[in-house]
């Protein structure tokens, strides 16, 4: 084979390889920011203050201004829906009109955004009981809209409502997601200097030891 023909063949092979790679590159499901490793989470957990929950009776969701505007007409909820979904289409108001969302809590995929909730990994009420009662409104707003830490995730409304404001001592997602879940939980609590109660720490330790 001539040098020209060999070059042409090589070029053709490269084009085919690239095309194959492009074909395999289907839209990937995004997710919450990757939590710290299990080893780091264990270190963080050991550093958290253990204390009983407090001020539960004074909690009000309105004390945590949430779904702040992120960009243009898109608020935090809509931003997470776009981040965590596949082929998400939004209208001029940034509301999702189509797409699909995989909920790692219960291994379910939904195609209607109305069936998806944005869960606060550490629930707002749990944060309040763990120290956020002493924060400023600005601090609580930052917590409720945190897109940097693994604090917000799109999940089915059923799983979110079942979880409610429970900590890992009374609620965990399906077994395959528990390591990711508790790593995220500990990272958020550590970053915001929130306390853990005894039962919560025991549950977190148990899961982390198996990760």
- HEC profile for the chain? CCHHHHHHHHHHHHHHHHHHHHHHCCCCCCCCCCCCCHHHHHHHHHHCCECCCCCHHHCCHHHCCCCCEEECCEEHHHHHHHHHEEEEEECCCCCEEEEEEEECCCCEEECCHHHEEEEECCCHHHHHHCCHHHCCHHHHHHHHCCCCCCCEEEEEHHHHHHHCCCCCCCCCCCHHHHHHHHHHHHHHHHHCCCCECHHHHHHHHHHHHCC
pLDDT of residue 16: 33
Q: What is the rounded average pLDDT of the residues 179-205? A: 98
Percent of the chain with pLDDT over 90: 85
Mean pLDDT of the 41-65 span: 98
Whole-model pTM? 0.86
Average per-residue pLDDT in the chain?
Answer: 89
Residue 6, pLDDT above cutoff 50:
no
Q: What is the pLDDT of residues 148-190, one digit of tens each?
A: 999 999 999 999 999 999 999 999 999 999 999 999 999 999 9
- Tens-digit pLDDT profile for residues 8-36: 333 333 333 333 332 223 334 557 899 99
């Amino acid at each position: 084979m001539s040098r020209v023909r060999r070059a042409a063949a090589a070029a053709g092979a490269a084009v085919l390889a690239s095309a194959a790679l492009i074909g395999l590159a289907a839209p990937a499901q995004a997710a919450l920011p990757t939590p710290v490793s299990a080893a780091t989470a264990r270190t963080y957990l050991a550093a958290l203050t253990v204390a009983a929950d407090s001020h539960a009776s004074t909690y009000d969701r309105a004390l945590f201004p949430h779904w702040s505007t992120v960009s243009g007409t898109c608020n935090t909820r809509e931003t997470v829906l776009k981040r965590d979904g596949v082929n998400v289409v939004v209208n001029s108001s940034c509301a999702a009109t189509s797409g699909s969302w995989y909920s790692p809590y219960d291994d379910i995929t939904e195609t209607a955004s109305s069936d998806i909730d944005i869960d606060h990994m550490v629930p707002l009420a749990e944060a309040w009981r763990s120290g956020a009662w002493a924060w400023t409104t600005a601090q609580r707003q930052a917590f409720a809209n945190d897109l940097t830490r693994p604090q917000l995730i799109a999940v089915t409304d059923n799983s979110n409502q079942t979880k409610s404001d429970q900590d890992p001592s009374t609620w965990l997602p399906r077994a395959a997601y528990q390591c990711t879940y508790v790593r995220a939980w500990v990272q958020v609590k550590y970053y915001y200097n929130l306390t853990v109660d005894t039962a919560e720490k025991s549950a977190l330790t148990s899961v982390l030891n198996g990760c």
